[in-house]
Amino acid sequence: MTRPDAPEEGGAGEAARELRDGLAKIGAEFRASLAEASDEPSLRERNARWVGPGGALTRLMKLMPKVPSGERRDLGKQINALKTEVNEAFEHALVALERAAREAELAATPLDVTLPGRDVRAGRLHPITRVRYELLDIFGALGFDVADGPEIDLHENCFDKLGFPADHPATDMQDTFYITREELGASATTLLRTHTSTIQIREMLRREPPLAIVAPGAVYRRDDDATHSPMFFQIEGFLVDEDVSFSELKGVLTLFARRLFDAEVSLRFRPSYFPFVEPGGEVDVSCVFCRAWERDAARTAACGVCKGTGWIEILGCGMIHPTVFRNVGYDAERYTGFAFGMGLDRIAMLKYGVPNIRLLYENDVRFLSGF
């Protein structure tokens, strides 16, 4: 109530009343408000409504200068007391919230630290890669270098320089994907190589004898069945020097087969034809499945892999044809050499007993993790 004759006194009375009313209101509300907070952020937010910089109690304190001096002391005490109460209620609620959270955690289903961890699946080498490393080790120990060549090569390196006459049926049999650039002419015909024998030409063109080289790599053909895939792997080997004879070829291949399969295997050389060797042959190894060298006739007769013959074909080989030497500019009178080529897939299938070549390319970990 304002008194017209004493406006300042009246203003001061007003401030004191507002302050008192405000204190009563805050006193009635703050406990319930703080108690309703369900988590710490909301508790802090509610607390700030009373005692924060813009809070209700803080606003009331700003009225103090306007309060008549006689009432200031008493109201000041009340404000401080209320502030202390709010702070205490806040601390109390905070402790209660923390305790409730801890109790909820203890009551919840406990974390089972005894569960075994998930296994980390370690990668491993693909069977073909393992066989490749093994062969490179064996031939490396015999002094062979390792060479590489492109999977797309000239028709010339794949057939012509190896002594395949134009239109030789073998080029049909091995027919593959041709990439022909008409404008560059027939000599620029390229194709996905059908065998690693291309490396013989490439290496002999850039090196002089003596040389001993092995070259693994992917090759491509029109084949597709249980034991043939349109893309597969071969390894080529060749050695050129003066006075190289067939007996060195036999020696190297026998040593290789005994290191790879079993110290007791023997080799059988059968004559065969490849345009780039003369004489040429195919090599069989005594069957590693029925252990044919142990001469258990009944076991061999029942063997599905060698089909009762006791022999498994593993490679082609021969003495390098003089035509090849002439085509790469070597003196065919002075040098002789041998060459051989085999399928890495086939070796992997024999060594690990893989029945179908598809398994090597499907990348099914159930199969691959067995090696």
Q: Which residues bind ligand DAH (CB under 6 A)?
A: 195, 197, 236, 274, 277, 280, 316-318, 339-341
Q: In the complex, what is the shortest distance from the CB of residue 366 to ligand DAH, in angstroms, rounded to a whole number?
A: 31
Q: Looking at beta carbons only, is 213 or 265 nearer to ligand DAH?
A: 213
Distance CA 230, CA 219 (A): 8
Quote the least distance from Cβ 193 to ligand DAH, whole Å. Answer: 10
CB of 141 to ligand DAH, least distance (A): 20
Q: Closest approach of Cβ 276 to ligand DAH, in Å? A: 6
Among 296, 293, 306, 295, smallest CA distance to 264 is for 293
- Token readout for 360 is 């090597």
Assign 158 to helix, strand or coil. Answer: helix
Cβ distance to ligand DAH smaller for residue 13 or 341: 341
C-alpha to C-alpha distance for 214 and 141, rounded to whole angstroms: 12
| Identity of the residue, 274 or 335, whose beta carbon is nearer to ligand DAH in the bound complex | 274
Question: What does 200-237 look like in DSSP terms, one character per residue?
Answer: HHHHHHH-PSSEEEEEEEEEE-S--BTTB-SEEEEEEE
Backbone angles phi, psi at 108, to 5 degrees: -70, 160
CB of 195 to ligand DAH, least distance (A): 3
Give the closest residue to 14 by CA, choosing from 80, 53, 71, 81.
71
The vertex-113 CA angle with 112 and 118, nearest 5°, equals 105
State the minimum distance, in angstroms, from the CB of residue 162 to ligand DAH. Answer: 8
**Closer to ligand DAH by Cβ: residue 30 or 274:** 274
Distance CA 207, CA 205 (A): 6
List CB contacts of 283: < 8 A, sequence separation 6 or more: 253, 267, 268, 269, 270, 313, 314, 315, 316, 317, 340
Nearer to ligand DAH, 133 or 273 (CB): 273
Query: Is 3 in a helix, a strand, or coil?
Result: coil
Between 197 and 327, whose beta carbon lies closer to ligand DAH?
197
Comparing CB distances to ligand DAH, the nearer of 234 and 300 is: 234
* Cβ-based nearer residue to ligand DAH, 57 or 260: 260
Q: What angle do CA 289, 295, 301 make, to 5 degrees?
A: 60
Per this entry, what is the length of the chain?
371
Considering the complex, what minimum distance in angstroms separates the CB of residue 299 from ligand DAH?
Answer: 31
Least distance in angstroms from the C-beta of 367 to ligand DAH: 26
C-beta of 132 vs 195, nearer to ligand DAH = 195
Helix ranges, 108-188 (H): 127-141, 155-158, 169-173
Identify the CA nearest to 200 among candidates 149, 269, 137: 149
Determine the Cα–Cα distance for residues 324 and 191; give it in Å rounded to an integer. 20
| Least distance to ligand DAH, CB of residue 343, Å | 8
